[in-house]
Chains A and B, each alone.
Chain A
Amino acid sequence: RKEVEQDPGPFNVPEGATVAFNCTYSNSASQSFFWYRQDCRKEPKLLMSVYSSGNEDGRFTAQLNRASQYISLLIRDSKLSDSATYLCVVPSGTGFQKLVFGTGTRLLVSP
């Protein structure tokens, strides 16, 4: 089983829609998780951290389900500018120093 798995999408949604992505991870000892956003041909940038049960920032909500070993990202009231690839990231290795990236879920928001 891969350390981090994501549905590659694309998820095609209209403006204003609510969309959610899931990410599963294999290391049950992982304590913190991250969602990064990557625009086409650009570097990834941190969107949200998830340290316990969840985190909310405006239209974005990240939740953690330790029992089932997945994290989710919910985007409400989608904007055209939300179109991007969303990367799920899980710390790994000795001291959880290394970050393991999922392959990403592509979101396309249309007018």
Chain B
Amino acid sequence: NAGVTQTPKFQVLKTGQSMTLQCAQDMNHEYMSWYRQDPGMGLRLIHYSVGAGITDQGEVPNGYNVSRSTTEDFPLRLLSAAPSQTSVYFCASKREGEQYFGPGTRLTVT
């Protein structure tokens, strides 16, 4: 099992550009989520999904969209990148209590 995979590992965007962060899991987990991690702020939930076709907002959803067309994939879209979105982004999937994280995407918006 590959677990949770994320691409790309690093990305630099200019303000106003859009992009999609990819996330996939091969553990057949229903629950998937996206977090961002900033120094001193901890992990903050952006969006989550409890199954294919179902998504909901987390703590900091503004500026991000998600969709869940399959159990395996949960992409995160940045609509118009802003410097405030410079962060490390983690995708995760969960079975019961244990959450498995991907390796993260380090995004810089200039």
Contact of B41 among A32, A91, A99, A103 (CB under 8 A): A103
Interface string of A80-94 (1 = CB under 8 A from B): 000000010101000
* Complexed CA–CA distance, A89 and B31 (Å): 16
Given contacts A97-B48, A98-B58, contact A87 B42 (CB under 8 A): yes
Q: Is the interface of A mostly helix, strand, loop or mixed?
A: strand
The answer to whether B45 touches A98, judged by C-beta atoms less than 8 angstroms apart, is yes
Residues in A whose Cβ lies below 8 Å from that of B104: 42-43
Residue of A nearest to B42 (CB): A103
Q: State whether the Cβ of A17 lies closer than 8 Å to any Cβ in chain B.
A: no
* Complexed CA–CA distance, A34 and B45 (Å): 16
Residue of B nearest to A6 (CB): B42
* Complexed CA–CA distance, A46 and B93 (Å): 12
* Complexed CA–CA distance, A55 and B101 (Å): 23
Q: State whether the Cβ of A59 lies closer than 8 Å to any Cβ in chain B.
A: no
Q: State whether the Cβ of A60 lies closer than 8 Å to any Cβ in chain B.
A: no
A sample of 9 cross-chain residue pairs with beta-carbon separation below 8 angstroms, ordered by A number, consists of: A8-B40, A34-B97, A42-B104, A43-B101, A49-B98, A97-B31, A98-B45, A101-B35, A103-B41
Tell me the A residues contacting B by CB distance below 8 Å. 8, 32, 34, 36, 42-46, 49, 87, 89, 91, 97-104
